Structure 1
Amino acid sequence: MCNVKLNGLIAISFAALSIVNGSVAAEPHSRSSNVCKGSLTSAYKSCRLDANEEFALATGKCLNVPSRSERKRCANEAKREQREAAEVCKESRAFRKDLCKDFGPGAYAPEIVVSNFLSPEQAAASPNPYLPLVPGTIWKYEGGGESIVVTVTSDTRVIQGITTTIVTDVVSIGGKVVEDTHDYYAQDLGGNVWYFGERVLNYDEEGYLEDLDGSFIAGKDGAKPGIAMKANPQIGDKYRQEFALREAEDVAEIISLTGDGTTPAAACGGGCLVIEETLPAEPDVVEHKYYVPGIGFVFGFDQEAGERTEQLIEYTTP
């Protein structure tokens, strides 16, 4: 993503972070400030700038097309893509406005205290039933032409003073790896699993590294951790799973504790936790994810397409 500086943008006062005794705390804003509204305004401006930048670049490329008819076709395509991008920016702004109603006007500033988190060994000994961080656990999924292998490793990474467990997520199409992700999780004393970021390697069809889109680390470039899985999920709970403005903003809401469905490797039996996941960058995408206690994620369902996204075909414990 290209960073664009523009004189005249409204200055937004972000929370200053300080680290005290291993914790990260935010200095309070004035009572009159609406940080959530300010953030969505800045995100909208950034989105529109990106759309215009892409249009300008595409126009320059079109000018170098030899054929007049192809140049015209290229220019029309560039205009169409700009209009579509602008519309997504508007939809994302509306989505974020709704989130401000849900979460309030204040800054998103979760307090991270090292002593409130379990070590990876402690988390493995007392795992969250819906997201067990037990090294050696492997989930294999298939769907949409993709094969996905998720593995809890014994590797760790320290982020914001917290020792996180590295969970690998490898996506393949036709036997070729197209995405290789390291997800960073940690479990707190209450049993909630937190998400501290991800390192994403995206590959092209020839196996060459294409980009790192989707990557973020809590504590860097304004990114903050979120809750990947609650210890005691209740219907109506709504929370941020991650927060890196315009990069990673997944939001989860608990919609059922009695979901049903089967896969080749697991069955809900009417007792699945169902979480609805949405994100501002793709406001039309709504996925329902089903979790079996003691196993974890078993299948996803795309609400717009009316079909499953992926399903568990094999589950292995150490």
Structure 2
Amino acid sequence: MTKGRILARLGLGFVVVMCGAFIGWSGAQTGAYCTQTADTLLDACKAGILDDAAVGKAVCINITEPKARTTCLDDLADSQDEAKRLCEGQHDTRLAACGVLGEGRYDPDFRPARFDNPRRPSNPNPYFPLGIGKHWEYRSATQVNTVDVVNETKRIAGVDCIVFRDLVFEDGLIHEATDDWYVPAKDGSVWYFGEEVKDFETFKGDNPLRPELVSIDGSFKAGRDGDKPGIIALASPKVGDVYLEEFSLGNAEDVTEILSTTYSYGHDPVLDEGVPGVLAQRFCAGNCVVTKNYSLLEPGLFARKYYARGIGTILEVENTGEVVQLVNCNFDRRCANLPTP
């Protein structure tokens, strides 16, 4: 789940610990594959700036009024400068990650034999329930986010994934609609094989006022256009583990670091920051997992996510100050009468 929803952004790059040999790195460590990838993506980012600038200039050329045309060109120049800074920021983050995480290729083995039937996993992960019919509702100051495990599967690269339907609403109108595709591995980890993202927007003055599809950015699918699956939940997380959630270069590159596997409220001021005490005390009796999530595409942003045993995600605290918290679920009595933002 991601993209302005419950899932968080910003990343360090490539995985450090990917369940040992189950994931694995390929290629000799003498090859600077990570740095080569970072440099190549910087070239791609710069090329994209030139392409966008040419289209933007063409738009400005077709504005008749001189003052408005000049404003258009000035705005275009400002946006180019901002885009260049973003490209450099992404590149710097990737290079820093390469220095910490190594230069190996990311090429996980996702043969079907490694995975379970998603409807009846033999080794279910207690921190990421997959049961059909489960429902979660989250709220922030401005949005309502519902997540449902629907009675559907999707076969991707020979692997059957369960479908999570993730909807975000603002002012009662749909803002994001996403299908996430997850599958349990036989070792107890849960893998993320992709997502179909639809972003909607409404426009003042429209009549009737209806959300319009404006973007599918962030959509990815293992086996398509070089995309590869990642892990959404480790079988046996340990503090310091870092693993890749998404691998769709230049499009979706999220990673997670394990910060705690024994969280309870009131023992760590850093992890308590922004956490509603009543919520944490309801779910975290020294056994909540706390992660830090990042995306290479948004340098400087991150979020802490809190997972409760038997429930899954209960809270996201972003470094922007936004808090997204669980307010209801349909399968556990602990979800009754939860506080709201």
Supply the distance in 2 between the matched residues of 1:274 and 1:31 (Cα, whole angstroms).
31
CA contact (8 A) 1:127 1:134 kept: no
Partner of 1:247: 251
| Aligned mate of 2:87, from 82, 86, 89 | 89
Secondary structure at the counterpart of residue 165 of structure 1: strand
Q: CA deviation at 1:211?
A: 2.7
CA contact (8 A) 2:29 2:103 kept: no
Matches within 5 A, 1:40-59: 40-59=38-57
The reply on whether 1:314 has 2:328 as its aligned counterpart is yes
Q: Structure 1 counterpart of 2:331, which letter?
A: T
Bigger relative contact order (CA 8 A; separation at least 6): 2
The reply on whether 1:61 has 2:56 as its aligned counterpart is no
| Aligned mate of 1:295, from 311, 317, 323 | 311
Partner of 1:212: 216
Q: CA deviation at 1:40?
A: 0.9
The reply on whether 1:256 has 2:256 as its aligned counterpart is no
Q: CA deviation at 1:204?
A: 2.3
The reply on whether 1:274 has 2:290 as its aligned counterpart is yes
Unaligned ranges ≥5, structure 1:
1-24
Supply the distance in 2 between the matched residues of 1:50 and 1:76 (Cα, whole angstroms).
19
Partner of 1:35: 33
Partner of 1:101: 99
TM-score normalised according to structure 2 size: 0.80
Q: Structure 1 counterpart of 2:292, which letter?
A: E
Partner of 1:228: 232
Supply the distance in 2 between the matched residues of 1:143 and 1:164 (Cα, whole angstroms).
29
Supply the distance in 1 between the matched residues of 2:124 and 2:29 (Cα, whole angstroms).
40
| Aligned mate of 1:151, from 148, 153, 158 | 148
CA contact (8 A) 2:314 2:325 kept: yes
Supply the distance in 1 between the matched residues of 2:292 and 2:264 (Cα, whole angstroms).
12
Q: Structure 2 counterpart of 1:77, which letter?
A: D
CA contact (8 A) 1:259 1:273 kept: no
Change (3 A) 1:231 1:28: closer
| Aligned mate of 2:130, from 133, 144, 153 | 133
- Shifted more, 170-179 versus 267-276: the winner is 267-276
Secondary structure at the counterpart of residue 250 of structure 2: coil
Secondary structure at the counterpart of residue 119 of structure 2: helix
Q: CA deviation at 1:264?
A: 6.0
Secondary structure at the counterpart of residue 252 of structure 2: coil
Q: CA deviation at 1:227?
A: 0.5
Unaligned ranges ≥5, structure 2:
1-22, 203-209, 266-274, 333-341
CA contact (8 A) 2:28 2:104 kept: no
Partner of 2:159: 162
Identical pairs, percent: 32
CA contact (8 A) 2:140 2:322 kept: no
CA contact (8 A) 1:259 1:290 kept: no
Partner of 2:3: none
CA contact (8 A) 1:259 1:274 kept: no
Change (3 A) 1:75 1:223: same
- Shifted more, 261-270 versus 286-295: the winner is 261-270
Partner of 1:5: none
- Shifted more, 26-35 versus 186-195: the winner is 26-35
- Shifted more, 102-111 versus 281-290: the winner is 102-111
Q: CA deviation at 1:32?
A: 3.8
